[in-house]
Structure 1
Amino acid sequence: MKRLMSIMMVLLSVSLCAQSVFEFKTKEIEPVTLMATYSMRYTEDSLNTDFLPQEDMLLLIGKNTSCFMSYNYYLFVNSLKKITTDIAYKEWLMNPDLRPPVTRFTYRIIKANDQGKITFYGRVMPDFFTYDEPREIFKWTLCSDTISINGYLCQKAKTKFGGRTWIAWFSTALPYPDGPYKFSGLPGLIVKLNDTQNHYTFEMLS
């Protein structure tokens, strides 16, 4: 049964990080028209390829901009935004029910279609950093292979990036030329993506 995509009018935002939790702010970019959740599996140790940690990732797509980040980090950012007092902060620290699960991925990737660039927001404890880079123009090879993933008819495509060969399955039923991480440029949303060594796999959940 086809899983419905979450169409939500929320605000695409980027956290502007500061030392104090009470100075934690966000910059609103534009309304989100589509929210896609992906399951990411990755090889943590190249000598132990049987162990594949998993984490849910989130792709927020707006008219001209998209944001890719950990779903748990998205929850973390939103929980911090609600804290306005010392008492609330202490309660947040002491009560695990108020905090989202810990994530190992505190980066956000902002793809600005209208500016032809990607902005990377990251953190190396205790500092935050950001940098811009030109948006990658992927050279996709479209294949004739098709499969159904979560109820969506998907077509196969291949490309090279970061020293790896990647296989993507995209669906024109979802007319968004976007996908996980820095990937984009296909005539439909990337529903599944993996490198040929299966060190990284992204598969859309909803």
Structure 2
Amino acid sequence: MVHYPCSNADFFTLLRSWYEEAAYGESGNPLWQNLRLIIVHSTEVYIPLDINKSPFNVGLAINLHEFTPDQVHELAQRYGLKLTESEQSQLMALIGGHPYLIQQAFHHLARQDLMLDELLQTSATDAGIYHNHLHRHLRHLQEHPELAMAFDQVIQATIPVELDQLLAFKLHSIGLVTLKGNQVIPSCELYRQYFVSHKIL
């Protein structure tokens, strides 16, 4: 919907009106009380919506957090993988607990498309299993030079970096950085390795 500006404002306004009707029931129709809306979205794209018509600033927001080592271990078992503690540590040193990146790694390892050593060696390259994910982020950064400049500062630094608050928020929202108080670091080593070797500016 976000790529159709002619209709997305009307659609999102409709969702907001449904939410308001279900929450406050001003029409008097009790059927509205049965309506539950679940909106799953990424904050990668920012749509200029009237704050009073947006469905994104009401209700309960639930953020997807990184997996813990125990959760990664459990997911590996569900994929039928028997990773040693050292192997899991190597993988998490590269991609952290990023749910999508972990899932992709386990999917390819379970299918035996490649071994863990190969995955670790090629992951930050255009031949690696994450190339589509990384190319999408690269394209996004190239389309938003202010984000690219800010992220370049982050990946070139060896310590947490303080950025403009809005830029830090946007980079965090698309998953490229982790907030450490008022400072940021790359979300994972994969991003540092890939974007240092690819020109984002």
Q: TM-score range by the shorter chain?
A: under 0.3
Query: Structure 1 length as normaliser, TM-score?
Result: 0.25
More helix by share: 2
TM-score, scaled relative to structure 2: 0.25
| Structure number with bigger Rg | 2
